[in-house]
Amino acid sequence: MKHIRWSCDPLPAPADRGTLIPLGLGNSLGDCCLNNGGTVVVTRGMNRLLDFDAETGLIRCEAGATLDEVLRFAVPRGWFLPTTPGTSFITVGGAVANDVHGKNHHWAGSFGCHVTRLELLRSDGRRLVCSLAENSDFFAATIGGMGLTGLITWVEFRLRRIVSTMIETESVKFRDLDEFFDVSEGTDARCEHTVAWVDCVTRGRGILMCGNNVDDAGAAGATLKPHTEPRLNFPHGFPSCALNRFSIRLFNQLYYSRQLRKRVRGLQHYSQFFYPLDVVKNWHRVYGAPGFFEAQIVLPPDVAKEALREIFKQAARFGQGAFLVVLKKLGSIRSPGLMSFPRPGVTLGIDFPNKGERTKKLFTEIFRIGLDTGAAFNPGKDALMPPECFAKTCPNLESFSAFIDPAFSSNAWRRLTKGLL
């Protein structure tokens, strides 16, 4: 591990002439920020805010700044992230490199859609300022480029205006997948942010949560107060055996039942709404030492329902429960990123506690279902995808390869392209 602390500093030299890969906060759930035998470049020290235009909401910051830090600055001034993933503990560099998407993808597209410029530091010492107009090929390759095209030193992107930190929410219970598709049709058109939690142990009952930013500055409780620090810390050494089919079933049951009525409306602070997990530091310790595997898959709209049923069936067959599983529809706004994961369809995010072989076999089934239905997988969250699957679901692989920095590589990249390139 080596640190880069200033965006004007040169790249650290890799140990033993090995390769480099940048690391943000390491919150991608796979191995795209790991580099066995090579060097990981820690970017967190590089976290300064550089420019901000209070008229247009254009902000420029060093790539190691976190969304959390950006929000603390922007929110009191009446600005918010254009889109945000389910945690604020990721860096802006990581948001670009994985082209993250949020609950408003169907209205706003992915993070990369809002990036106006960035600087890329290559291992030959060149600094490329990239945008749609300048070095546009590097711009396209770097958004969603998994840190392989060089080190992003700073990013300029557009914030969106808010008049309040509150979100008007609505949550709707659905009994099964059929009902989910019916209900979400209406809410997608009406609400900017939508996401659904499903209980995959059953036929897919769940709760759809959606919301819109409060746009009336005079509304009750409208303030511009940003979020506070997380207070709870999940303890180390949580016994992994505590997570089994029964406890997961119980948890899902309780979660589903906490809402009694079919439809509930409310008002939530953005932190509760977007970052429910951020209040508990190190929440992933609930999985104990073996950890978990995550898959995120996007299914083409016409086959989505059937494919989801099949995936839930396989999970049951392998006796693998999963905590609240996330379903959401992705819209048709295209990202400038060549390797960007989001595309129109229904995305399922699911994480299974690591039970060794059993879990790996289940993933093999999921990848098979994905390939059969023309789905794609998010390489930023994956740790198990086989190269054939990556090649089939990633149409721009060849053209992307031309922009990879010769000194950069990662575990994920070597695994995903083994025997391909």
Partner 1 sequence: MKTCIQKAFLVGATSGIAQALAERLAASGAALFLAGRSGGKLDLMARDLRLRHGARVETLAVEFEKTEGHAGAVRRAWEWLGGADASFVCHGALIDQKVCERDFGEATRSFQINLLSAASFAGEIANRMEAAGHGTLVVISSVAGDRGRQSNYAYGAAKAGLTAFLQGLRNRLFPSGARVLTVKPGYVDTPMAAHIRSSLKVSADRAARDILCAAEKGCDTLYTPWFWRPIMLVVRLIPEYVFKRMKL
- If one asks whether residue 85 binds ligand FAD (CB under 6 A), the answer comes out as yes
277 contact, one of partner 1, ligand FAD, none, CB 5-8 Å limit per kind: ligand FAD
Q: Report the C-alpha gap between 204 and 309 in whole angstroms.
A: 8
Q: Which of 14, 19, 22, 159 binds ligand FAD (CB under 6 A)?
A: 22
Contact partners, residue 202, CB within 8 Å, separation at least 6 = 176, 252
- If one asks whether residue 291 binds ligand FAD (CB under 6 A), the answer comes out as no
Q: Report the C-alpha gap between 367 and 381 in whole angstroms.
A: 14
- If one asks whether residue 3 binds partner 1 (CB under 8 A), the answer comes out as yes
Place of tokens 């970052």: 275
Report how many residues bind ligand FAD under the rule CB under 6 A.
Answer: 33
**Helix residue ranges, H only, 177-263:** 177-190, 245-257
Radius of gyration (C-alpha) of the chain in whole angstroms: 21
- Interaction with partner 1 in 4-63: which residues (CB under 8 A)? 5-8, 45, 48-52, 62
**CB neighbours of residue 312 within 10 Å:** 22
What does the per-residue mask of binding to ligand FAD show for 127-156, with x meaning CB under 6 A?
-------------------xx---xx----
Q: Measured from the CB of residue 261, what is the shortest distance to partner 1 in angstroms?
A: 44
- Interaction with partner 1 in 60-79: which residues (CB under 8 A)? 62, 73
Report how many residues bind partner 1 under the rule CB under 8 A.
Answer: 13
Q: Measured from the CB of residue 274, what is the shortest distance to partner 1 in angstroms?
A: 22
CB nearer to ligand FAD: pick between 198 and 314: 198
- Interaction with partner 1 in 257-296: which residues (CB under 8 A)? none
Q: Report the C-alpha gap between 152 and 94 in whole angstroms.
A: 9
CB nearer to ligand FAD: pick between 28 and 164: 28
- If one asks whether residue 198 binds ligand FAD (CB under 6 A), the answer comes out as no
Q: Measured from the CB of residue 122, what is the shortest distance to ligand FAD in angstroms?
A: 11
**Length of the chain counted residue by residue:** 421
The CA-based angle 39-42-43, given to 5 degrees, is: 140
Q: Measured from the CB of residue 117, what is the shortest distance to ligand FAD in angstroms?
A: 14
Q: Report the C-alpha gap between 143 and 283 in whole angstroms.
A: 28
87 contact, one of partner 1, ligand FAD, none, CB 5-8 Å limit per kind: ligand FAD
Judge contact between 346 and 298, C-beta under 8 A: yes
193: left (phi over 0), alpha (psi -120 to 50) or beta: beta
Contact partners, residue 266, CB within 8 Å, separation at least 6 = 168, 169, 170, 171
Judge contact between 373 and 307, C-beta under 8 A: yes
Q: Measured from the CB of residue 55, what is the shortest distance to partner 1 in angstroms?
A: 15
User: For the chain, what is the largest distance between any 2 Cα atoms, rounded to a whole number of angstroms?
Assistant: 62
Q: Which of 7, 88, 98, 354 binds ligand FAD (CB under 6 A)?
A: 98
DSSP string of 123-167, one letter each residue = TTS-EEEESSSSSHHHHHHHTT-TT-S-EEEEEEEE-EE-S-SEE
- If one asks whether residue 100 binds ligand FAD (CB under 6 A), the answer comes out as yes
**Joined tokens for residue 303:** 């086959």
Stretch that binds ligand FAD, among 93-101, 235-243, 248-256, 368-376 (CB under 6 A): 93-101
- If one asks whether residue 65 binds ligand FAD (CB under 6 A), the answer comes out as no
What is the contact surface with partner 1 in residues (CB under 8 A)? Answer: 3, 5-8, 45, 48-52, 62, 73
Q: Which residues bind ligand FAD (CB under 6 A)?
A: 21-29, 32-33, 43, 63, 85-87, 90-91, 93-95, 97-98, 100-102, 146-147, 151-152, 277, 380-381
